[in-house]
Structure 1
C-alpha cells in the first residue's frame, strides 16, 4: 500500500435535501460510510478537506482514514458527486475496508518511457486506450498505480491487459469471469501517422510512373 489519507469528519443526523443545502452553504459536504461490519453512517466533511486531495490520483484508489470524533475508520472512495459546472463536490460515498478481506478498486495506469518507445522514435503515434484498471487484492497490497513500460513497444504493436506486470497478490477483475481472450483489451498501441489523401494520391501516381 503506497499512500494513506486522513479526513476529519463529524457525525450527521440532519438528513434531507434542505439539510444538505445548508451544509454546502457552510462549505461542508454530506457523505456516507457504508459496508464492512457496520451500519451506514452519515457524516459531514469540510469541502476544503476534500478539495485539497482531489488532484492526487491516489485519493481515488488508496486507503482513506476517516476520523469521526476520534473514531478512525479505514475506507476507500466509492463515489463522488460533483456540481455539473462549478468546481464543487456535492456528496461522497466511502466503503469500509476490513483488513484481511479483499477489496475491488480502480487504480490508474502510469505509462513509462512514452517518448523513448521504439515505435515513437520510428515516427509512430502512441494511443493510450485504457487509463485505469479494476483490480482485486487485500488492502495492505493495494498499489498506488500499475506501471506500464512501453520502451520496447514497436510500430504497429500493442500491449494488452494480459501483458501488464501486476504486484504480488493483485489480480485484474477483467479475467475473473467469462472469455479471457475477449476481456484482453488493448491498453496502449503505436501506429503510423495518418497520411492526407493528397499524399496518398501522389504516392499512387509515383508508383504508377515507376511501373510504366
Structure 2
C-alpha cells in the first residue's frame, strides 16, 4: 500500500458551525487519534483528499504534513453526505512504519462459478492484521468453477503475504447456491402475494380467453 502525501492545516475551531464553514471552503474537517497523545484536529484539502480515498479505498493511508511534521494516518471512518455527495468528516488513526494494525478489508470474488449458480457474499469485509503500510485494498476469493452448495469460510481464504486472519475462521464469507428457476421465483411470488392478501383482478382479455376455453370444453362434451 502506498501513501498519499497531503498537507493538512491545524484546526482550532470546532462544532457544527465551524465544520460548515470548512466545507464551504471545499475543505474537510478531520481528527487523528492514537499513540497515547491527544487527538489532533486538522483541515484537509477537499478534492485532493477525496481522490486519495477513491484510489486507495476504505483503509487509505495518508502521509499528512502538519505544521512541518509528517504523520502517517490510516483512514478509520469516513462520514459522507449522500445527498450532496460530499465528505463531511474523517477519523484517522496515527500509525508508524512496521506497526501492526487490525483492519476490515473488503472481500472481492473473482472468476465464474459453475453454471446455474448464485454467488452471495455473506460477509463483505474480512477482519485481518497487517503492517500499517502494507494493508491490502481488497482480498480476492476465487469462485472459478465452484459448484452449488459450496460455502467458503474465512479460514479457507488465502491471504496476502504478511496478512493474518483475525476474524473467526469458521465464519461464512462466500455462499454458492443453486440459482432459482423462473417457475420457483413465480411460485414464491404467488405465495408471498397470497400471504399478503394481494388479489389481482383478471383483465378483459383473460376473462374472454377463459370463456372461450369453457365454451370449447362444453362443445367437446356435447359432441361426446
Superposed, 1:76-95 pairs within 5 Å as: 76-95=74-93
- Aligned counterpart, 1:24: 23
Deviation by residue 1:127-160 (Cα, 9 ceiling, x = unmatched) = 2333221211222442222111111311222212
- Aligned counterpart, 2:107: 109
Aligned length, in residue pairs: 187
Deviation by residue 1:49-105 (Cα, 9 ceiling, x = unmatched) = 22223433x331242211224322111111111124211111111100133332111
Once the 2 structures are TM-superposed, how far is the Cα of residue 47 of structure 1 from its aligned partner? Answer: 1.6
Between Structure 1 and Structure 2, which shows a larger proportion of helix residues? Answer: 2
The higher radius of gyration belongs to 2
Q: Hey, what's the Cα distance between the residues in 2 that align with 1:62 and 1:50? A: 10
Query: Which one has more relative contact order, counting CA pairs under 8 Å at least 6 apart?
Result: 1
Superposed, 1:132-211 pairs within 5 Å as: 132-175=125-168, 181=170, 184-197=171-184
**Paired residue secondary structure (1:6):** strand
Q: TM-score, normalised by structure 1?
A: 0.77
- Aligned counterpart, 1:203: none
Preserved contact between residue 5 and residue 65 of structure 2 (Cα < 8 Å)? yes
Once the 2 structures are TM-superposed, how far is the Cα of residue 45 of structure 1 from its aligned partner? Answer: 0.8
Once the 2 structures are TM-superposed, how far is the Cα of residue 4 of structure 1 from its aligned partner? Answer: 2.0
Call closer, same or farther: CA 1:46–1:111 in 2, change over 3 Å. same
Q: Hey, what's the Cα distance between the residues in 1 that align with 2:12 and 2:184? A: 65
Q: Hey, what's the Cα distance between the residues in 2 that align with 1:198 and 1:106? A: 35
**Alpha carbon RMSD of aligned pairs, Å?**
2.3
Q: Hey, what's the Cα distance between the residues in 2 that align with 1:53 and 1:191? A: 39
Once the 2 structures are TM-superposed, how far is the Cα of residue 42 of structure 1 from its aligned partner? Answer: 0.8
Q: TM-score, normalised by structure 2?
A: 0.74
Q: Which sections of structure 1, spanning at least 5 residues, go unmatched?
A: 201-212
